[in-house]
Amino acid sequence: MSSTIAGLILAGGLSRRMGGEKPLKLLAGQPMIKRVIGRIAPQVERLAINANSDPAPYLEYGLPVLPDTIGGHLGPLAGVLTGMEWAAELPGVTHLVSAATDTPFLPLDLVARFSAISGPGRIVLARSNGNRHPVVGLWPVALREDLARWLASGETMKVQVWAARHDPVFCDFEPEHDGAPDPFFNANTPGELAEAEVFLGRFGS
């Protein structure tokens, strides 16, 4: 655990494909966001949730619930900016690590692996099996003003496009063991949620 890194769970999406509040969908008998919290909380000093809906269901986890500081449902980058602005107020915090609420197999060594290749102004993004996962990243808090200007410009809300301006590095991850799911498996739809249930039934936590 690093006292310089805060964490943010991105739960601010509209969940159209899931047909409801995706973070609260049950997976192995518990809300999916609870599982994600359990995997990332031990890795960071402070943790918050980025959510733009009713905060009440999220407050029960005892974490700050942060709505986007920029309106218009601009996507994950708006959530990252919100988290960076929150983290900037925390003593000693220099970086924010973000994770999606639909990644129930998030690596337990995510922050340690990111930290090993991070730097003062370096963005680190996750990659597995050749696929990039731009919403799972390590963000220098010092870049928050640049990100705010980018979002205000309205050029594009794609995470990778903005990150590319800062020469990011990628951290490669593998499944925990043979037959295990991709560490960044997304449970975006009811079918994928059912698939995650199968993985958990087969391999446990």
Is residue 10 marked as binding?
yes
- Going by their DSSP bridges, the two strands 26-27 and 30-31 should be labelled as antiparallel
8 is in an annotated binding site: no
Question: What is the 3-state secondary structure of 77-135?
Answer: HHHHHHHHHHHCCCCCCCEEEEEECCCCCCCCCHHHHHHHCCCCCCCEEEEECCEEEEE
Residue 102 annotated as part of some ligand binding site: yes
Is 11 annotated for ligand binding?
yes
Taking alpha carbons only, the member of 70, 103, 98, 100 closest to residue 163 is 98
Q: Is 12 annotated as a binding residue?
A: yes
Annotated binding site for GTP, which residues?
Answer: 10-12, 22, 50, 68, 102
| Residues annotated in a binding site | 10-12, 22, 50, 68, 102
Binding residues for Mg(2+): 102
